[in-house]
């Protein structure tokens, strides 16, 4: 029985992780979970999965759950709660499906506690990839990708040495506005941005897909997960999201991973690796029904966010921390209808321009920069 700690159980990846646990209850057991504010869903999840420890974002929600569950469940809150959920003694693996760089410190704590890490939370790797990968090496803990593209690369690599890789090719759907020009992007709405053509996901990542920052974050995530220089990470537009990504090897062989767009596949693979478990649910891929798959090279003028992300990644140090924090705050402002779509990119660009890079930032420096950039963006949008 594999025992699972889950950060972000009420989210898109969190609920799908619980689907996987439910379908294979003879193999997996939930021992702890964290949520933000969705108390109603959390109550149902606690009744069904009976975790030992639950963490919520604020004290008020904590008191409500304490009243409801008494001493059947330990209920905590805030960062301390996230860390306790992530490091609970009984867990073998942490599924990190929380949103944003708030996932960083619980991830580091779980690595130190020698938990395997199944990581969906890309912001953690973007903001402090050097700290996370270093800690994982020191504590001999595997970082198992959940993000669909990185799971595809992980499966295509199948343990091959990174010296055998010519390039990693991340596929990108292009998001909700893939067929619009930059001129047309001036007038798009939040409602339209939230309609991803292929995937049903949380609001923040759906906006990231529309701006293409999602792919930018994924380039940095791939750099850290697979230890590959940015010059060997490419992005290819593929509007169907059927090929989840590919690896070209030095002998010019290319291996791709395909499947219908269903996050339960990579979530489950991260939990069963190196084995596979049969799924009785989900759609099989029927290529004959699709007929054709389409590909287009990436235009960095059109997708300005990609250029910013590559640049921040290549500069390295604290630059990706700034990129991520500015993006999290700018997207949050767009979701609250405080700014228009193209202002997301403008705010990030300004934050990057004015940042003095720290080469190898410590955890304290990352926490300080993250907060400073959030405050900066906040002051500009309010």
Ligand X SMILES: CC(=O)[C@@H](O)[C@H](O)COP(=O)(O)O
Q: Known binding site for NADPH: residues?
A: 10-13, 36, 38, 121, 123, 202
d(C-alpha 263, C-alpha 20), whole Å? 10
Computed on alpha carbons and rounded to an integer, the radius of gyration of the chain in Å comes to: 20
Residue 33: partners with Cβ closer than 8 Å, 6 or more residues away: 5, 6, 7, 9, 14, 42, 45, 46, 49, 51, 53, 54, 55, 85
- Interface residue with ligand X among 84, 123, 147, 345 (CB under 6 A) is 147
- Interface residue with ligand NDP among 4, 5, 6, 13 (CB under 6 A) is 13
CB of 138 to ligand X, least distance (A): 28
CB of 239 to ligand X, least distance (A): 9
d(C-alpha 92, C-alpha 110), whole Å? 10
Interaction partner, residue 209 (ligand X, ligand NDP, Mn ion, none; CB < 5-8 Å by kind):
ligand X
Interaction partner, residue 102 (ligand NDP, Mn ion, ligand X, none; CB < 5-8 Å by kind):
ligand NDP
Indicate the residue among 298 and 367 with the shorter CB distance to ligand X: 298
Per the annotation, binding residues for Mn(2+) are: 147, 149, 218
CB of 172 to ligand X, least distance (A): 4
Any idea what the Cα angle at residue 5 is, between residues 2 and 9, rounded to 5°?
120
Position 263 contacts ligand X (CB under 6 A):
yes
d(C-alpha 52, C-alpha 71), whole Å? 10
- Interface residue with ligand NDP among 5, 12, 52, 377 (CB under 6 A) is 12
d(C-alpha 212, C-alpha 173), whole Å? 9
Q: Where are the beta strands (DSSP E) in 26-183?
A: 28-34, 53-56, 74-77, 93-96, 116-119, 143-145, 165-172
**Binding region for ligand X (CB under 6 A) out of 141-149, 267-275, 298-306, 331-339:** 141-149
- Interface residue with ligand X among 36, 103, 175, 313 (CB under 6 A) is 175
For tokens 């939230």, name the residue: 194
- Interface residue with ligand NDP among 10, 107, 209, 332 (CB under 6 A) is 10
DSSP 8-state code for residue 234: E
Binding site for Mn ion (CB under 5 A): 147-149
Binding site for ligand NDP (CB under 6 A): 8-14, 34-38, 57, 97-100, 102, 120-123, 147, 199, 201-202, 204-205, 263
């Amino acid at each position: 029985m594999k025992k699972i700690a889950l950060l972000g159980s009420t989210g898109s990846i969190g609920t799908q992780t619980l689907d996987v646990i439910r379908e294979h209850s003879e193999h997996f057991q939930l021992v702890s979970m964290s949520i933000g504010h969705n108390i109603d869903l959390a109550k149902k999840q606690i009744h069904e999965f009976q975790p030992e420890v639950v963490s919520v974002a604020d004290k008020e929600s904590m008191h409500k759950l304490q009243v409801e569950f008494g001493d059947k469940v330990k209920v905590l809150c805030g960062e301390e709660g996230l860390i306790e959920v992530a490091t609970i003694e009984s867990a073998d693996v942490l599924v990190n499906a929380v949103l944003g760089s708030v996932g960083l410190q619980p991830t580091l704590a779980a690595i130190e506690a020698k938990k395997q890490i199944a990581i969906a939370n890309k912001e953690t790797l973007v903001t402090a990839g050097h700290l996370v990968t270093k800690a994982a090496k020191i504590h001999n803990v595997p970082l198992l990708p959940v993000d669909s593209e990185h799971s595809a690369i992980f499966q295509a690599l199948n343990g091959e040495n990174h010296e055998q890789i010519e390039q990693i090719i991340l596929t990108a759907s292009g998001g909700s506005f893939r067929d619009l020009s930059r001129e047309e992007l001036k007038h798009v709405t939040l409602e339209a941005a939230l309609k991803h053509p292929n995937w049903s996901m949380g609001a923040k990542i759906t906006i990231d897909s529309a701006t293409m920052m999602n792919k930018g974050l994924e380039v940095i995530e791939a750099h850290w997960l697979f230890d590959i220089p940015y010059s060997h990470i490419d992005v290819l537009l593929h509007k169907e999201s059927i090929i989840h990504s590919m690896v070209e090897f030095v002998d010019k062989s290319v291996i791709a991973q395909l499947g219908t767009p269903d996050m339960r596949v990579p979530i489950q693979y991260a939990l069963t690796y190196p084995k596979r478990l049969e799924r009785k649910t989900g759609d099989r891929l029927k290529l004959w029904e699709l007929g054709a798959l389409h590909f287009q090279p990436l235009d960095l003028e059109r997708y300005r966010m990609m250029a910013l992300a590559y640049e921040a990644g290549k500069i390295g140090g604290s630059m990706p921390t700034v990129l991520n924090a500015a993006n999290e705050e700018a997207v949050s402002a767009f979701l609250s209808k405080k700014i228009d779509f193209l202002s997301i990119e403008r705010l990030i660009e300004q934050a990057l321009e004015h940042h003095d890079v720290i080469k190898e930032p410590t955890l304290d420096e990352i926490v300080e920069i993250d907060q400073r950039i959030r405050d900066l963006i906040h002051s500009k949008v309010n």
